Amino acid sequence: VSSISRIAVVGSGAVGGYYGGMLAHTGCDVHFLLRSDLSAVRRDGLTIRTGGRTVRVAAQAHGAVQEIGPVDMVLIALKATANAALEALIPPLLHDATALVTLQNGLGNEEYLAERWGAERVLGGLCFVCLNRRAPGVIEHIDHGSISIGEFHRAPSPRTLELVAALQRAGIDAKAVPNLVEERWRKLLWNIPFNGLSIAAGGATVADILADAGLRRLARDLMSEALDAARRIGHDIPDSFADFQITRSQTMGAYQPSSLIDWQLGRPVEVEAIWGEPWRQGTRADAAMPRLEMLYRLLTCLTAKGAAA
Amino acid sequence: VSSISRIAVVGSGAVGGYYGGMLAHTGCDVHFLLRSDLSAVRRDGLTIRTGGRTVRVAAQAHGAVQEIGPVDMVLIALKATANAALEALIPPLLHDATALVTLQNGLGNEEYLAERWGAERVLGGLCFVCLNRRAPGVIEHIDHGSISIGEFHRAPSPRTLELVAALQRAGIDAKAVPNLVEERWRKLLWNIPFNGLSIAAGGATVADILADAGLRRLARDLMSEALDAARRIGHDIPDSFADFQITRSQTMGAYQPSSLIDWQLGRPVEVEAIWGEPWRQGTRADAAMPRLEMLYRLLTCLTAKGAAA
């Protein structure tokens, strides 16, 4: 018997709908917690447009976690800014061995889950994917889609490998990673400068940031600060990885980082997860991070005001 | 015979109109170079509302510097962003001993004049004044009004003292300062953080900056960077002066720094004079200025886009 035969998805926006929907499409027993999209998904199921085809999933849609009851694994895809809602949403889903997999951005989400429901339950997934929710229950998969899954401060376990295998059977480029936190820092090396400067510079695309010599230099300096912090915390990421993050950005064109889109649409931005927590963790490890601190301070103000006026 | 019997004002906006107008009102021979306000001032003169009274000045208004011809002193009150225009405007005003007094903000304006027309001609004035141009030729003097005048890298000379005396006769709180460049750094200690963060934080007043613990800390950190740079350059400004700049800001309330107003109205912002040149001079003196550099980079982008959308 699989240890993940019953799965719940909490936060069924684009990320939860896509990964959960693809798992359901290939036969996994997936239960979606829905709010605004509940009636649409009950009526029409989930629709995922991916790679030129349209996948229709007769999703098991629920309006409350009590309807779902205990599951073997919870995929958590809420915005990190809504984590407080998990206090009520998680307990009804738990049995003794329920795994909690956060697919959220940045740092601090695994810790949040571990403090409340025990570190042994916690896994994390890093999603490298461009998705868009086009309408209630309709998700467009634009580009990429790989996911790296790891246990929280532990090596991959049987359940990690089962989840990876289930995702692979659903056609997703999934892999298990031995050091989840290091992977998070590697991803932050890009998100910190590019998501942050896209807002702080007043609505800059990746191409805008790279084309402006001052912003490009600033992006690389922010990466150096994050790199120094990651190393002091114990992750051996080479300088060449930061250079590679700049290089690979050059093919992205006028890509708008997700935080910029959130900000422009007046949605919450994950300021604490992407900038606040890395700054705090780096500072505790005696890293000097004046640029990250400044970016964090500015983003806190800019996003508190809501969208660009 | 006074060495400043004939004066020209170049850039007759609020600052040039106010100081030049008050001098003309008390009998100085002042010639104003005007562009958009020319016909209004020719018809109605300058109107200065100050301290509850209205001063009307039958100003000598000119549409071209060639009409004015050589003068003893030029008061330069253009935006520093328009300095390139001086190449054509200054030469017709010069005789062998013409003094050039820049009333502009930030660093680099004295150097600009000295490189082109000789350092011995150059003085600078720091204006601590709240003015508003209400209509063509109509200036409202809102608050403050003091002006500190010094020679460029020299002690005050007879002409400095004559200008100070003429301003004092016009009712203005003027004084001669022994070290003009140090005064500029002292003023920058306020302008760098408060003018800069008001824009970078998306439209923050002085009260907003002080009320947000993160921004307030950032303002003080930016002051510390500027203080370190000023000291390395040779100006002995104590830490207590930076603390005093924070303290005195607490009575300003919801004051909008002039750069914020310029930005919001889509006018040029003096990014090079207030942030770029202090960063370059500090960096040449081996000061570490990561926050100032970042602020400069962000403001360069934000102001290039014009006003807040």
Per-residue confidence band for B131, with pLDDT thresholds at 50, 70 and 90: confident
Nearest CB to B302: which of A201, A218, A293? A201
Model confidence at B309: pLDDT above 60: no
Residues of A in contact with B301 (CB under 8 A): 201-202, 204, 208, 212, 214-215
Model confidence at A1: pLDDT above 80: no
Q: Find, among A21, A3, A1, the residue nearest to A12 by Cα.
A: A21
Model confidence at B23: pLDDT above 90: yes
In angstroms, the Cα distances linking B53 to A150, A269, B19, B66 are: 74, 51, 16, 34
State both tokens at A234: 């114990």
Give per-residue pLDDT as tens, A205-259: 999 999 999 999 999 999 999 999 999 999 999 999 999 989 888 888 888 888 9
Across the interface, whether the CB atoms of B291 and A295 are under 8 A apart is answered no
For residues A301 and B201, is the Cβ–Cβ distance under 8 A? yes
Across the interface, whether the CB atoms of B309 and A212 are under 8 A apart is answered no
Residue A120 phi/psi, 5-degree rounding, is: -65, -20
DSSP single-letter state for residue B152: T
Model confidence at B144: pLDDT above 90: no
Nearest CB to B308: which of A208, A300, A309? A309
Per-residue confidence band for A124, with pLDDT thresholds at 50, 70 and 90: very high
A307 to chain B: nearest residue by CA?
Answer: B202
**Mean pLDDT value across residues B141-167:** 94
Distance CA B289, CA B255 (A): 27
Distance CA B203, CA B257 (A): 10
Does the CA dihedral B147-B62-B79-B306 come out positive or negative?
A: positive
Distance CA B251, CA B247 (A): 8
Q: Find, among A271, A256, A252, A251, the residue nearest to A204 by Cα.
A: A256
Nearest CB to B290: which of A202, A290, A298? A290
Residues of A in contact with B294 (CB under 8 A): 218, 290-291, 294-295
State both tokens at A22: 């693809």
Residue B187 annotated in active site = yes
Distance CA A185, CA A234 (A): 11
**Mean pLDDT value across residues B127-153:** 91
**Mean pLDDT value across residues A109-128:** 97
Considering only A8-12, A253-257, A260-264, B30-34, which range has the smallest mean pLDDT? Answer: A253-257
ipTM of this complex: 0.85
Name residues 274-293 of chain A within 8 A of B (Cβ). Answer: 290-291, 293
Across the interface, whether the CB atoms of B218 and A296 are under 8 A apart is answered no
Distance CA A60, CA A68 (A): 9
Give per-residue pLDDT as tens, A7-25: 999 997 899 999 999 999 9
AA letter at B84: A
Q: Which residue has the tokens 């060495």?
A: B3
Model confidence at A91: pLDDT above 50: yes
Instruction: Tell me what the pLDDT averaged over chain A comes to.
Output: 94
Q: Rg of the Cα trace of chain B?
A: 19
**Mean pLDDT value across residues B64-87:** 96
Does the CA dihedral B35-B37-B40-B43 come out positive or negative?
A: negative
In angstroms, the Cα distances linking B307 to B194, B203, B268, B304 are: 18, 11, 9, 9
Interface membership of A211 toward B (CB under 8 Å): no
Of the residues B205, B294, B300, B303, the best mutation for testing chain A's interface (the one with the most A CB atoms within 10 Å of its CB) is B294
Across the interface, whether the CB atoms of B297 and A218 are under 8 A apart is answered yes
For residues A139 and A17, is the Cβ–Cβ distance under 8 A? yes
Across the interface, whether the CB atoms of B308 and A305 are under 8 A apart is answered no
AA letter at B185: W
Q: Find, among B226, B204, B227, the residue nearest to B215 by Cα.
A: B204
Separation of CA B118 from chain center: 21
Q: Rg of the Cα trace of chain A?
A: 19
Distance CA A202, CA A278 (A): 23
Give per-residue pLDDT as tens, A69-87: 999 999 999 999 999 999 9
Name residues 179-208 of chain B within 8 A of A (Cβ). Answer: 197, 200-204, 208
Name residues 156-175 of chain B within 8 A of A (Cβ). Answer: none
For residues A58 and A45, is the Cβ–Cβ distance under 8 A? yes
DSSP single-letter state for residue B154: B
AA letter at A189: L
Per-residue confidence band for A308, with pLDDT thresholds at 50, 70 and 90: very low
Beta bridge partners of B62: B33
Q: What is the pLDDT of residue B254?
A: 86
> Secondary structure of chain A in the HEC alphabet?
CCCCCEEEEECCCHHHHHHHHHHHHCCCEEEEECCCCHHHHHHHCEEEEECCEEEEECCEEECCHHHHCCCCEEEECCCHHHHHHHHHHCHHHCCCCCEEEECCCCCCHHHHHHHHHCHHHEEEEEEEEEEEEEECCEEEEEEEEEEEEEECCECCCHHHHHHHHHHHHCCCCEEECCCHHHHHHHHHHHHHHHHHHHHHCCCCCHHHHHHCHHHHHHHHHHHHHHHHHHHHHCCCCCHHHHHHHHHHHCCCCCCCCHHHHHHHCCCCCCHHHHHHHHHHHHHHCCCCCHHHHHHHHHHHHHHHCCCCC
Across the interface, whether the CB atoms of B214 and A296 are under 8 A apart is answered yes
Residues of A in contact with B297 (CB under 8 A): 212, 214-215, 217-218
Residues of A in contact with B205 (CB under 8 A): none
In angstroms, the separation between the Cα of residue B50 and the nearest Cα of chain A is: 35
AA letter at A294: M
Q: What is the pLDDT of residue B306?
A: 55
**Mean pLDDT value across residues B276-296:** 98
Name residues 106-165 of chain A within 8 A of B (Cβ). Answer: none
Q: What is the pLDDT of residue B42?
A: 96
Across the interface, whether the CB atoms of A215 and B297 are under 8 A apart is answered yes
| Maximum distance among all Cα pairs of chain A, rounded to whole angstroms | 57
Q: What is the pLDDT of residue B47?
A: 97
For residues B215 and B196, is the Cβ–Cβ distance under 8 A? no
Q: What is the pLDDT of residue A242?
A: 93
Nearest CB to A200: which of B200, B208, B308? B200
Q: Which residues of A are annotated as catalytic?
A: 187
pTM of the model: 0.89
Per-residue confidence band for B1, with pLDDT thresholds at 50, 70 and 90: low
* Residue from B79, B175, B187, B305 carrying the catalytic annotation: B187
Q: Which residue has the tokens 């109109």?
A: B17
Element spanning B173, H or E: none
Model confidence at B200: pLDDT above 90: yes
B196 to chain A: nearest residue by CA?
Answer: A298
Across the interface, whether the CB atoms of B302 and A202 are under 8 A apart is answered yes
Q: What is the pLDDT of residue A282?
A: 98
Q: Find, among A139, A131, A128, the residue nearest to A55 by Cα.
A: A139
